[in-house]
Structure formats: structure tokens, C-alpha cells
Amino acid sequence: MRNLPTVTRNILLLNLIVWLLTVIVGRAGLNLNYLLGLQYFTSPGFHWWQFLTYMFMHANFSHLFFNMFAVLMFAPVLEREWGAAKFLFFYLVCGLGAALTQEGVWALMLSQGSLAVYDIPYLITIGASGAVFGILFAFGWLFPDVPMFLFFIPIPIRARVMVISYAAIELALGLNGLSGGGDGVAHFAHLGGFLFGWLVMLYWKYGEKYVKAWWSRIRGHKNDDNKNDHWSEYHYQRSL
């Protein structure tokens, strides 16, 4: 743990602490998932902070383990590549994007009749998977040819191929859930993490330089105006 970057280490510790707290208070009869898990925005149990807190909640130890294992494998590389602040921003944006995507999918399912109004109080999403899937996408973007090994498959797979394949599987499972064959997993939240991670990476690669150029032009025009306004300070004047 000492060798891990700061943000990655704190993400691991915070998720572990929250899970232990959930277990402890659960034995006392308090369900933290209902308070901190993401609920549909019209639910009586919905609170704004759930867009952040849901990504630190987990259903059981295996859910926690596999999410944090992915963080342990991929997050340190990204944090060392970007720095702590940039990585933390990316992680939170992907988690928030996953939450917004899940809210949109719930709204679509309610409008199509796949969910009934009386189901709303029971719609709860928890887990860091959305942010984790954003991390996977970023790793595949930055290191597309790195060989990776999946569990029980002794054949190396390029990171880019693995990420694309994973996204395709999640899309298929999500569409199956929309048609009534759901497995209780928020697959579209995972895809939301992918999507928002892709948008952030696109902005950093292409959009950021245009924003900087636009801002520089604005500042340049402003500086030109200032030069004109203060020209008399620099204009040569002959002494009397």
C-alpha cells in the first residue's frame, strides 16, 4: 500500500472502510445501501449525494474485491501518467456519468413499461463499477497494445481488444435486460462509465487545445487593447 499513488490508495481504503461500516451497521438493522446507494430521482429515498456515495458502496465482499482488484491493477498506471488531481477528476466523472446513465435507463424503462411505478422505491444501484470501467477504457486508450491475461484464459489479449470486447458484452447484456431478461446488474451504468471516460479523453486529446487557443485569442485581443490604451506610456516624447 505504501508504494501505491495517493489517490489510488485512498480509493482502496475508503471502499474497504465503507464496506466494513456497512456490514457493522447492517447487523444493527440499518441498511446503508438505501441511504447511500443511488435511487431513482423520483423515489422518496433519493438524495443528491447518492450520485457520489453510491460508487463507494458494495453488495458483498466479492463485489468489493473484483472492483478494487481492477482499481489496483489499472489505476496506479493512470495516476502516475496523469497526476493525482487529474486522475481523481477522471475517476469521479466516470462514476458520475455512470450514475446519470443509469438514471436515464430507468426513465426509459419506466416510459416503456418495463418497470412499474411501484418498482421505483426498490431501484437502487451501488458499486464502483462505472468508475472502474472508465479506468479500463482509459488504460485501453493509452496503452492499446499492452498484452493482458483474463482469468482462466492463458492467451494474451491486447488491451484495446479486451476493452472493446468488454463493452460489446456489456451492451448485449444491457439490451437483454431492457427486453425483460435482466440479471440484476447495472450494465448500462458500466457503459456510462465507458462513455464518459471516452468523452473526457476526447476533450483532453482534441478539445482542450481548441479551448486554450480560443482563450489565448481572447487574451491576445485584450492585451492589444491594453497596449493601445497605454500607448502614451511607451511613445517617445521629446523633452521641452
Q: Are 151 and 208 in contact (CB under 8 A)?
A: no
- Residue 223 pLDDT greater than 60, yes or no: no
How far is the C-alpha of 108 from the C-alpha of 141, rounded, in Å?
30
| pLDDT number for residue 40 | 94
| pLDDT number for residue 162 | 87
How far is the C-alpha of 82 from the C-alpha of 87, rounded, in Å?
6
How far is the C-alpha of 146 from the C-alpha of 110, rounded, in Å?
41
Q: Any idea which residue has 463507494 for its cell?
A: 56
Q: In terms of DSSP H, where are the helices of the chain?
A: 6-27, 32-36, 50-53, 61-82, 84-112, 129-142, 159-176, 187-202, 208-229, 231-234
Identity at 43, one-letter amino acid code: S
Per-residue pLDDT tens over the stretch 131-177:
999 999 999 999 988 888 776 677 888 888 888 888 898 888 888 87
Which set of grid coordinates corresponds to residue 65? 474485491
Which set of grid coordinates corresponds to residue 141? 486508450
Which set of grid coordinates corresponds to residue 228? 493601445
Confidence of residue 234 (pLDDT cuts 50, 70, 90): very low
How far is the C-alpha of 120 from the C-alpha of 173, rounded, in Å?
22
Pick from 161, 166, 158: nearest CA to 132: 166
How far is the C-alpha of 48 from the C-alpha of 52, rounded, in Å?
8
Which set of grid coordinates corresponds to residue 41? 430521482
Q: Which whole number is the average pLDDT over 193-202?
A: 93
Give the global pTM.
Answer: 0.84
CATH 1.20.1540.10 fits 6-220, yes or no: yes
| pLDDT number for residue 235 | 35
| pLDDT number for residue 181 | 57
Task: List the single range of 55-69, 194-208, 209-223 with lowest mean pLDDT.
Answer: 209-223
Per-residue pLDDT tens over the stretch 92-104:
999 999 999 999 9
| pLDDT number for residue 157 | 85
Pick from 88, 93, 96: nearest CA to 14: 88
